[in-house]
């Protein structure tokens, strides 16, 4: 019978890889905690209407990438394709904005989009993201970006490029859209097919077309930055000067536009040269209209999301994380000894040591071979003789030193054992 395999676009994260995920989560948790961001967990499925209204019905994500289905109560559900809509729904539903002040929230978890899988792009993928709700200040944009770069830099990524743009507010964009259409229409026949199609549907998206011919035409196109209102422009300049004050280098990219409808003003992407076509590791921006769009009080907000799979790919290129260290490898043979070894292993674990118990029942020689391969600091050995005398042999694997210890004394020696273990770690 054929074995059942993981679905297309889904994958298992095996123990050898999970260490990287845990490292990312630990670093993010620490940095976000220090900036007083609080974790929030929202459901992985939501009413379909939430994403249709939040992300925009005309977007590709909503139009052709959502996992949407009817449940047994005939409700239309969708597996979340991104994190922001759910967090905003929760923010409104629980009145998190009514306490005044700014809500700094972060989340992590799986997202779902029905796309053709590629390296760094799965159908179930994972994001870690933040949402800052309630501040219109440019400082909120700069703080959010600073925290993202801080997390990535702490993880060891030094070569990411920060692309920055402002797409202004709705009326800025209306004016720009008209100017862009005026400019592009005479060139319509020379644009690539996708861009021709977008000229009426979503002309801003033409700006980030990868087609060379289209890019050439765009060289002379009007820039969004020339169509910002004085207020939007001042706001964007403030974001830039704050980033400079934070010593965060960035590249102005007037052609950076986002595929989700809710963005306003600041948009940004952090990209790597080492990921192929899926280069964006972290992206986000301001979304001042979304809370109101979803039925809440008008609330300015900014956020971003990191693609975990892409980040982990980069980390694996960068460094190899060691296997977790084992303090003691428990070798035992013979029925009473094996029982005592189990009890002793539990006692040591409760005292804080990491103990691997060999349950193979194979010859001592084999068990020592495995002990060696486990890179444990020391072996604890129990055979018939030790079982009878209630002792245990302690053998340090680096020097080969071996001494007999009464089982009852092992815990009272734990400080000395810990000292010896620590000195070994320092040498290694």
Residues 176-195 that bind RNA (CB under 7 A): 194
Give the nearer residue to RNA in terms of CB position, either 339 or 363: 363
Q: Is 280 in the site for RNA (CB under 7 A)?
A: yes
Query: Given candidates 13, 119, 234, 252, which one binds RNA under the rule CB under 7 A?
Result: 119
Chain centre distance of CA 389: 53
Among the listed residues 95, 249, 276, 295, the single contact to RNA using CB under 7 A: 276
CB 12 to RNA: min, Å: 11
Closest contact distance (angstroms) between CB of 136 and RNA is: 21
* Closest to 271 in 3D by CA, of 117, 157, 124, 143: 157
Rounded Cα distance between 70 and 279, Å, is: 34
Cβ contacts of 418 within 8 Å, gap of 6 or more: 352
Judged by CB under 7 A, the residue of 255, 259, 321, 342 near RNA is 259
Out of 19, 29, 121, 349, name the contact with RNA by CB under 7 A. 121
Quick one: residue 110, left, alpha or beta (phi over 0 = left, psi -120 to 50 = alpha)? Answer: beta
Distance of closest approach, residue 2 Cβ to RNA, in angstroms: 6
Q: Are 260 and 53 in contact, with CB atoms under 8 Å apart? A: no
Return the number of the residue (231 or 409) whose C-beta is nearest RNA.
409
- E strands, 147-275, are 161-166, 251-252, 264-271
Shortest gap between Cβ of 224 and RNA (angstroms)?
A: 16
Shortest Cβ distance from residue 231 to RNA (Å)?
26
Query: For 187-218, b where at least 16 C-beta lie within 10 A, e where not — what string?
Result: beeebbeebbebbeebbbbbbbbeeeebbebb
9 binds RNA (CB under 7 A): yes
**DSSP code of residue 203:** G
Which positions from 314 through 343 interact with RNA, judged by CB under 7 A? 333
Quick check: 212 and 250 in contact, CB under 8 A?
no
Q: Cβ of residue 105: shortest distance to RNA, in angstroms?
A: 16
Which residues in the 373-402 window bind RNA by CB under 7 A? Answer: 373, 379, 381, 383-386, 393, 395, 397-400, 402
How many Cα neighbours within 13 Å face the side chain of 426?
Answer: 6
Q: How far is the CB of 315 from RNA (least distance, A)?
A: 14
| Cα gap 401→420, rounded to integer Å | 12
Which among 31-39, 91-99, 176-184, 306-314 is the span making contact with RNA, rule CB under 7 A?
Answer: 306-314
Please provide the DSSP assignment of 274-288 as one string. TSTT--EEEEEEE-T
- Of residues 375, 406, 381, 378, the one with CA closest to residue 393: 381
**33 is a contact residue toward RNA (CB under 7 A):** no
Q: In this structure, are residues 272 and 160 in contact, taking their beta carbons and an 8 Å threshold?
A: yes
* Interface stretch with RNA, choices 132-140, 170-178, 318-326, 363-371 (CB under 7 A): 363-371
If the CB atoms of residues 74 and 189 are measured against RNA, the closer one turns out to be: 189
Contacts (CB under 7 A) with RNA, residues 205-224: 205, 208-211
Q: From the CB of 95, what's the least distance to RNA, in Å?
A: 26
Calpha distance 249→243 (Å, rounded): 7
**Could you say whether residue 372 binds RNA (CB under 7 A)?**
yes
Of residues 168 and 284, the one with the C-beta less far from RNA: 284
Q: Is 282 in the site for RNA (CB under 7 A)?
A: yes
CA 67 – CA 83 distance, rounded (Å): 15
Per CB under 7 A, 240 contacts RNA: no
d(CA 164, CA 256): 7
Q: Which is nearer to RNA, 9 or 238 (CB)?
A: 9
**Contacts with RNA in 125-144 (CB under 7 A)?**
125, 127
Q: Is 72 in the site for RNA (CB under 7 A)?
A: no
Chosen residue from 130, 243, 281, 294 binding RNA by CB under 7 A? 281
Closest distance to RNA from the beta carbon of 157 (Å) = 13
Kindly report the CA angle at 38 between 24 and 87, in degrees rounded to 5? 95
Size of the site for RNA (CB under 7 A): 72
In whole angstroms, the minimum distance from the beta carbon of 271 to RNA comes to 9
């Amino acid at each position: 019978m054929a074995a059942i395999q993981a679905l297309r676009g889904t994958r298992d994260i095996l123990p050898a890889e999970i260490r990287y995920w845990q490292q990312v989560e630990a670093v993010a948790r620490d940095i976000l905690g220090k900036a007083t961001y609080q974790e929030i967990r929202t459901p992985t499925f939501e009413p379909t209407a939430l994403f249709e209204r939040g992300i925009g019905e005309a977007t590709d994500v909503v139009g052709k990438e959502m996992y949407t289905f009817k449940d047994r109560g005939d409700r239309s559900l969708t597996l979340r394709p991104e994190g922001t809509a759910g967090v905003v729904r929760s923010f409104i539903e629980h009145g998190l904005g009514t306490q005044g002040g700014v809500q700094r929230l972060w989340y992590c978890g799986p997202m779902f989009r029905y796309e053709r899988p590629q390296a760094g792009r799965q159908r179930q993928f994972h994001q870690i993201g933040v949402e800052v709700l309630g501040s219109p200040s440019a400082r909120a944009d700069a703080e959010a970006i600073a925290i993202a770069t801080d997390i990535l830099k702490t993880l060891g990524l030094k070569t990411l490029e920060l692309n920055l743009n402002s797409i202004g507010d709705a009326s800025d964009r209306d004016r720009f859209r008209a100017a862009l259409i005026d400019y592009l229409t005479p060139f319509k026949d020379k644009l690539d097919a996708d861009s021709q199609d977008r000229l009426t549907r979503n002309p801003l998206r033409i700006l980030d077309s990868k087609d060379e011919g289209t890019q050439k035409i765009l060289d002379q196109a009007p820039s969004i930055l020339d169509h910002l209102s004085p207020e939007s422009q001042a706001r964007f300049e403030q974001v830039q000067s704050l980033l400079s004050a934070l010593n965060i280098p960035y590249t102005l990219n007037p052609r950076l536009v986002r595929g989700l409808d809710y963005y306003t003003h600041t948009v940004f992407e952090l990209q790597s040269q080492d990921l192929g076509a899926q280069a964006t590791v972290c992206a986000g921006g301001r979304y001042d209209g979304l809370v109101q769009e979803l039925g809440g009080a008008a609330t300015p907000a900014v956020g971003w999301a990191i693609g975990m799979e892409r980040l982990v790919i980069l980390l694996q290129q960068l460094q190899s994380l060691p296997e977790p260290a084992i303090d003691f490898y428990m070798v035992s043979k013979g029925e009473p000894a094996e029982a005592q070894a189990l009890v002793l292993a539990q006692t040591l674990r409760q005292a804080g040591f990491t103990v691997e118990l060999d349950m193979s029942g194979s010859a001592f020689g084999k068990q020592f071979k495995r002990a060696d391969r486990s890179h444990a600091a020391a072996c604890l050995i129990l055979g018939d003789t030790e079982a009878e005398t209630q002792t245990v042999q302690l053998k340090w694997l680096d020097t080969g030193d071996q001494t007999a210890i009464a089982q009852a004394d092992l815990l009272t020696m734990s400080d000395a054992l810990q000292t010896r273990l620590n000195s070994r770690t320092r040498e290694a």
